[in-house]
Amino acid sequence: MPEGPSIVILKEAVAEFKGRKVTEVDGNTKVDFSRLEGKKITDFKSFGKNFFICFGKKLSVRIHFMLFGTYRINERKETAARLNLVCNKGEMNFYACSVQLVEDDLDELYDWSADVMNDTWDAAKAKKKLKAMPDNLVVDALLDQNIFAGVGNIIKNEVLYRIQVHPKNKVGDLPAKKLTEMIKQARIYSFDFLEWKKQYVLKKHWLAHTKKKCSRDGSAIVKEYLGKTNRRTFYCNKCQELYK
Q: What pLDDT does residue 178 have?
A: 97
Per-residue pLDDT at 179: 98
Please give the single-letter amino acid code of residue 107: D
Domain 4-109 is in which class? alpha beta
- Using an 8 Å Cβ cutoff, are 61 and 99 in contact? yes
Average pLDDT of 108-129?
96
Q: Is the pLDDT of residue 1 over 70?
A: no
The CATH 3.20.190.10 domain(s) of the chain lie at 4-109
| pLDDT on residue 39 | 95
Instruction: pLDDT band for 33, please (50, 70, 90 cuts).
Output: confident
Pair 211, 188: CB distance under 8 Å: no
Q: Quick one: which of 200, 180, 177 has its CA closest to 188?
A: 180
- Average pLDDT on 53-68 reads 93
Q: Which CATH architecture does the domain made up of 113-236 adopt?
A: Orthogonal Bundle (1.10)
Q: Helices marked H in 171-231 — which ranges?
A: 176-198
* Neighbouring-strand partners of residue 234: 223
pLDDT value at 40 more than 70: yes
Whether 122 shows a pLDDT value over 90: the answer reads: yes
Cβ neighbours of 199 (radius 10 Å): 10
- pLDDT number for residue 194: 96
Main-chain phi, psi angles of 212, to 5 degrees:
-105, -30
For residues 191-213, average pLDDT = 96
Stretch 98-126: mean pLDDT, rounded?
96
In angstroms, what CA-CA distances link 83 with 54, 63, 97, 186? 15, 9, 9, 32
